[in-house]
Structure 1
Amino acid sequence: MLIEENLLLSYGAQLENFKPSHIIFEESSVPKYYYQIVKGRIKLNHYNEDGKELILAILNKGLSVCELLLFIDETYPVNAIAFEETTVLKLSKSSFVKLLDENQEISRDINKFLSERLYQKYIMLENNTSLRPDIRIKGALNYQKSFSDDESKFSFEVPLTRQQIASITALRVETVIRTIKKLEKEDFLKIINRKIYI
């Protein structure tokens, strides 16, 4: 958990519940709140000029949602959509800034978290420029696992369907299915009940 729930509540955070597919914020809207997931998952996506969905990340319990935009005067470059029944703690931008000013250790934790996310995003983007589907898929799966504390092999259940992996990597679903089978033979991942573990 990035920031303790009780600390957020003490600064005025409110709990909000969302049904699956509820839009929490839209691309081009102005960031006004800090969001932290208490339960459920949120996907960050974008639609290209052809209307095709590109999934940039799926965020789990304990993670914050696009908090980096609270530090700059820019609009959201993505949509945040509840992936399933989801509960978040929502704190106004001004209260979030006050919390950081009054809690230096939290500010350091946020900086570390942002640095880790940015590093992993660079790696994923670098992999996504590869012409090799296995490199693209490994990059996307490693990026998803980077949100987990457990780094041991096959400990992380990838929260993505083959279609969603195709959306992230800009590959065809058939290519993703074929490449995932190849990666399983190479012992990079494991498939249990159609779920992918890395």
Structure 2
Amino acid sequence: MLVDVDLLFSYNGFIKTYSRSEVIFKEGDIPRFYYQVITGSVKLNHIGEDNKELIQSILREGQSVCELLSFIDDPFPVNAIAMSECTILKVPKPEFLQLLDEHHEAAIAVRKFIAQRLYHKFIMMQNNASKYSHVRIKGILEYFKSFTDDETPYSYEVPLTRKQLASITDLRIETVIRTVKKMESEKLLKIKKGKIYF
């Protein structure tokens, strides 16, 4: 867990359960809480003018959701949607900031998490600017795997469908399917029962 659960509870944290596809917060909402995923997964997305979904991140157990907005008063630039039934620990923003002031280790962990996410976002954006589909896809897979501790080949089960990979990389789904098969033949990833392992 990014921040100790008992510590979050001691600062007026509480659990809320969300059903699959339920909105946790919407783009334009004012951040009022710190959110930490206890179980399940959450996607951050943006719906473009053409009604096309752009998935910006997928968060899992132990990770926080848009924690950087705890430090500013701007509205959310994305939607947070439950990808599965999930439980989220919510802490009111003022109490969360007080927690960070009073608990140095927690403040360091949050800052480090934000820095790692920004670092990998920069790399992901550079990869998404490539004209080569394999560079875009490999960049996304590296970004998501960066949140795990196991860096061995094929240890990470990618929690994305081919359609979601297309959404994130701004590629056509046919291009993603063809590129993933080519990457498998080059031993950059494995496919088992339709799932991608990177």
Bin for the TM-score computed over the shorter chain: over 0.9
Is residue 181 from structure 1 mapped to residue 181 from structure 2 by the alignment?
yes
Count of residue correspondences = 198
Unaligned segments of structure 1, at least 5 residues = none
Q: What is the aligned partner in structure 1 of residue 70 from structure 2?
A: 70
Q: TM-score, normalised by structure 1?
A: 0.99
Q: Which moved more, 1:123-132 or 1:67-76?
A: 67-76
Please list every run of at least 4 consecutive aligned residues from structure 1 whose deviation after the TM superposition is greater than 6 angstroms. Answer: none
User: Aligned equivalents of 1:112 and 1:123: distance in 2?
Assistant: 17
User: Aligned equivalents of 1:146 and 1:57: distance in 2?
Assistant: 12
Give the superposition deviation at 1:10.
1.1
Q: What is the aligned partner in structure 1 of residue 29 from structure 2?
A: 29
Q: What is the aligned partner in structure 2 of residue 88 from structure 1?
A: 88
Is residue 46 from structure 1 mapped to residue 41 from structure 2 by the alignment?
no
Is residue 129 from structure 1 mapped to residue 129 from structure 2 by the alignment?
yes
Give a deviation string over 1:90-143, Cα, whole Å, max 9, x none: 000001001000001111111111110000000000000000000000111111
User: Aligned equivalents of 2:186 and 2:97: distance in 1?
Assistant: 47
Q: What is the aligned partner in structure 1 of residue 13 from structure 2?
A: 13
Give the superposition deviation at 1:37.
0.5
SS of residue in 2 equivalent to 1:106: helix
Give the superposition deviation at 1:169.
0.3
Identity of aligned residues (%): 54
Q: What is the aligned partner in structure 2 of residue 194 from structure 1?
A: 194
User: Aligned equivalents of 1:121 and 1:175: distance in 2?
Assistant: 23
SS of residue in 2 equivalent to 1:139: helix
SS of residue in 2 equivalent to 1:6: helix
Unaligned segments of structure 2, at least 5 residues = none
Q: Write out aligned runs for 1:129-148 (5 A).
A: 129-148=129-148
Q: What is the aligned partner in structure 1 of residue 57 from structure 2?
A: 57
Give the superposition deviation at 1:14.
0.4
> How well do the aligned residues superpose, as a CA RMSD in angstroms?
0.6
